[in-house]
Structure 1
Amino acid sequence: MDGHGGRPHKAERDALTVEVGFALVSAAFLAALVFAAVVGPAFLFGLPDLLSALLFQVGLALAPVVFVVRVVYVLVDFRRGAQPSQPGRTSPDS
């Protein structure tokens, strides 16, 4: 937003849109990866039915938690204005 509490500029809205999209896509990918890592051994190694069902339930419980944590982390980090360091440039503090 501008310094006077007005509406955000188009560039700021675009940056927020990109960041939200990145948060959702990366969270979905990470949640799917966690689910596959938890449930995968049940299919790979032919584990007993009870253990396979347990791993499936754990995967179903863990994936949404990972999704939400990732989205919140990315959006909070964006709101703080964290930017990656730029090698070769001096920081404003120096």
Structure 2
Amino acid sequence: MRRTQAERDAITVETGYALCSAAFAAAVVFGAAAGPALLFTLPDAVEGLLLGTGVVLAPVLFLVRVISVLMRFRAPDQPDRPGRSRPDA
């Protein structure tokens, strides 16, 4: 099944949105978790813990955000005709 240009454009925009919003969210979480270790002089153990937490949480959040946005975009198709609950109705 060939996709129309509008469908391809929608997929491109949604993918871009998923990646950009995920990168922003991951950066915020990394900054919140590791920021104190980068800004202040803390004991080595605390700095390592904060940096490690940021390094682990940021990519996990990135993946979760991308997957959730793309799965929501791929959610069930709407019927072609408003007011109809089944495509064959």
> For this structure pair, what is the TM-score category when the shorter chain's length is used for normalisation?
0.7 to 0.9
**Number of residue pairs aligned between Structure 1 and Structure 2:** 80
Aligned equivalents of 1:69 and 1:22: distance in 2? 14
For structure 1, which runs of at least 5 residues remain unmatched after alignment? 1-5, 83-90
Quote the residue 1:78 is aligned against.
73
Quote the residue 1:63 is aligned against.
58
Superposition misfits of 4+ residues, deviation over 3 angstroms: none
Quote the residue 1:87 is aligned against.
none
Residue among 18, 36, 43 paired with 1:48: 43
Identity, % of aligned positions: 55
TM-score for the superposition, normalised by structure 1: 0.76
Task: Give the superposition deviation at 1:15.
Answer: 0.3
RMSD of Structure 2 on Structure 1 (CA): 2.0
Instruction: Report the 3-state secondary structure (helix = DSSP H, G, I; strand = E; otherwise coil) of the residue aligned with 2:9.
Output: helix
TM-score for the superposition, normalised by structure 2: 0.80
For structure 2, which runs of at least 5 residues remain unmatched after alignment? 85-89
